[in-house]
Amino acid sequence: MEVAALGLLVLGVGLAEPVSRALADARWPARDPVGALLVWQSVGLVGGLALVGACAVYGIAPLGPDLRSVLAVLGADPGAVLAVGPSHLLGLALGLGLVCWLLGVTAATTLRTLRARRRHCDLLDVLATPWPAVPGTHVLDHAAPVAYCLPGRRSRLVLSVGTLRALDPAQVVAVLAHERAHLRERHDLVVLPFVAWGATAPFVPGMVRAQIAVAALVEMRADDVAAAHTRPAELACALRTVGGAAPAAALGSFVTALDRRLDRITSPPAPLPPPVSVLVRLAAAALVALPPLVLLVP
Amino acid sequence: MFVTHLQVGDTVRRHGADPVTGCVRPGAVRVALRDVEVQSAKRRIGSVPNLGELERAVMERLWAAPGSLTARDVQEGLTTNPATTTVLTVLSRLQRKGLVTRERDGRAHHYCAVGSREDHVAELMNVALDTATDRSAALARFVGSIAPEERARLRDLLG
């Protein structure tokens, strides 16, 4: 059992740092954002499960040679878990603490997000004018060009007057298609665990990179959806107008990242060949199966 | 049009019946019917466009006023001529959302907008612009999913 615990630990640490880093630096995700997002989801899920599992398995290791015998011992006498000795009890406590931490941080992030969204929505209700031409779209009276979506049950698409002035109708349609893709595919939920876990482990640069990479992939996916409905040049031009209004556009790194993303719209990289893309999805699924395998194989 | 008898009875008892005699005041019935219509419409379509428009109109009225206003002042300034109870409902909704404060002055309640229109627009734009600014992508395009201190930390980490 100690070997299984060690295996899970190696898996968890490996996913949290070198694998996350390599995946964040890889170039292929731009060619298959959906596949890359699936891989990220399973890296996140399995990374968390493996670390918690490593602590728990180490904790119960003295009770038996494999999981089945341990479960039989615990089923007969749950109190036996106290007899594992101080270092193994510490392992159990660590695992429990990690679970509470991960779930707590996710819950706190969710609550904070919901509260901020409700406040934003309440303000939009009294400040923004519903745009009759496009149902669900609200216009905010401000000169700076912004366009964004507010996900959730009361989801909104918001454009500023500045955006309507700066863009021609086809470009407005393109921006709305991009934002609508975020809403329809619930990209906020895709990003949420990574935001929460990035907050859990800010000292692990791999986790922070994961957060940023997932956010970038979600944008690429929305670009792809929007580009299918509009002319790519219009979309790129419109997104540059809206993105370039931000104060951070003064930062070189931001502009470089935006440029790279917009180049991807006008001259898209070749999508991954279908067999490779299938392989990516299979790898994501196989990764999820890894922790149970480590536990079950003696 | 959306009224059922049971709802009319309920609402009239709540708003319009004289507590001593049990008689129904005629004006109250009109008010109650209007309320029932609003409530039925709410049930029917999930959200009430009229209520949203009314909220906006009430806030515009409060923002335009130099000081605080009573519900009657608010009502008189509205072009759509809504019922008093409707105005009170809207004011209490706005109060619950933290957009309006209520103060008691003798027998009357005075309502006042919290912050100017410009303050609130600035708040929205700050959130919106900040969401559009994240380096590699709109990291917090999803409003509120990232706290300011986290944002600062991310900036530090990424240089």
Answer yes or no: is pLDDT of A292 > 50. Answer: yes
- Distance from the A80 Cα atom to the nearest Cα atom in chain B, whole angstroms: 43
CB contact under 8 A, A215 and B139: yes
pLDDT at A127: 93
Greater model confidence, B66 or B8: B66
- On chain B, the residues whose CB falls within 8 A of the CB of A20 are none
CB A139 within 8 A of CB A160: yes
Greater model confidence, A255 or B86: B86
- Cross-chain CB nearest to A212 (options B98, B125, B139): B139
- On chain A, the residues whose CB falls within 8 A of the CB of B135 are 212, 248, 251, 253-254, 257
pLDDT at B31: 43
Q: Boundaries of CATH 1.10.10.10 in chain B?
A: 48-115
Give residue B143's region: left, alpha or beta (phi > 0; psi -120 to 50): beta
Average pLDDT, chain B: 66
Report CA-CA distances (Å) from A237 to A171, A175, A233, A261. Answer: 8, 10, 6, 12
Instruction: Determine the CATH number of domain B48-115.
Output: 1.10.10.10
Interface test with B, best of A105, A115, A123 (most B CBs within 10 A): A123
- Distance from the A269 Cα atom to the nearest Cα atom in chain B, whole angstroms: 18
CB contact under 8 A, A112 and B117: no
pLDDT at A62: 87
- Cα–Cα dist A5/A227, whole Å: 47
Arithmetic mean of pLDDT, A139-152: 87
Arithmetic mean of pLDDT, B86-114: 92
pLDDT at A246: 57
- On chain A, the residues whose CB falls within 8 A of the CB of B131 are 148
Answer yes or no: is pLDDT of B48 > 60. Answer: no
Does ipTM top 0.90?
no
- Distance from the A72 Cα atom to the nearest Cα atom in chain B, whole angstroms: 44
- pLDDT-derived band at A142 (thresholds 50, 70, 90) equals confident
- On chain A, the residues whose CB falls within 8 A of the CB of B62 are none
DSSP per residue over chain B, as a string?
----HHHHHHHHHHHTB-TTT-PBPHHHHHHHHHHHHHHHHHHHHSS-HHHHHHHHHHHHHHHHSSS-EEHHHHHHH-TT---HHHHHHHHHHHHHTTSEEEEEETTEEEEEESS-HHHHHHHHHHHHHHHH--SSS-TT-STTSS-HHHHHHHHHHH-
CB contact under 8 A, B147 and A112: yes
Tell me the per-residue pLDDT of B119-159, one tens digit each, with 9 for 90 and over. Answer: 898 888 877 776 554 433 333 333 333 445 555 554 554 44
Answer yes or no: is pLDDT of B26 > 50. Answer: no
- pLDDT-derived band at A216 (thresholds 50, 70, 90) equals confident
Report CA-CA distances (Å) from A112 to A119, A122, A218, B96, B142. Answer: 11, 15, 21, 18, 12
Greater model confidence, B49 or A268: A268
CB contact under 8 A, B133 and A113: no
Tell me the per-residue pLDDT of A161-209, one tens digit each, with 9 for 90 and over. Answer: 989 999 999 999 999 999 999 999 999 889 888 888 776 677 777 777 8
Arithmetic mean of pLDDT, A15-33: 92
- On chain B, the residues whose CB falls within 8 A of the CB of A216 are 136-137
- On chain B, the residues whose CB falls within 8 A of the CB of A114 are 144
CB contact under 8 A, A160 and B125: yes
- On chain B, the residues whose CB falls within 8 A of the CB of A122 are 97-99
Task: Look at residue A160 and give its three-state secondary structure.
Answer: strand
Q: B134 to chain A: nearest residue by CA? A: A254
- Cross-chain CB nearest to B124 (options A124, A130, A257): A124
Interface test with A, best of B143, B150, B154, B157 (most A CBs within 10 A): B143
Interface test with B, best of A25, A27, A125 (most B CBs within 10 A): A125
Largest CA distance in chain A: 73
For A130, the enclosing helix (H) or strand (E) is strand A129-130
Arithmetic mean of pLDDT, A206-216: 84
Percent of chain B, pLDDT > 70? 50
Q: A262 to chain B: nearest residue by CA? A: B137
Tell me the per-residue pLDDT of B1-13, one tens digit each, with 9 for 90 and over. Answer: 222 222 233 333 3
- Cross-chain CB nearest to B132 (options A127, A148, A215): A148
- On chain A, the residues whose CB falls within 8 A of the CB of B157 are 202, 205, 208
Greater model confidence, A227 or B150: A227
- pLDDT-derived band at A244 (thresholds 50, 70, 90) equals low
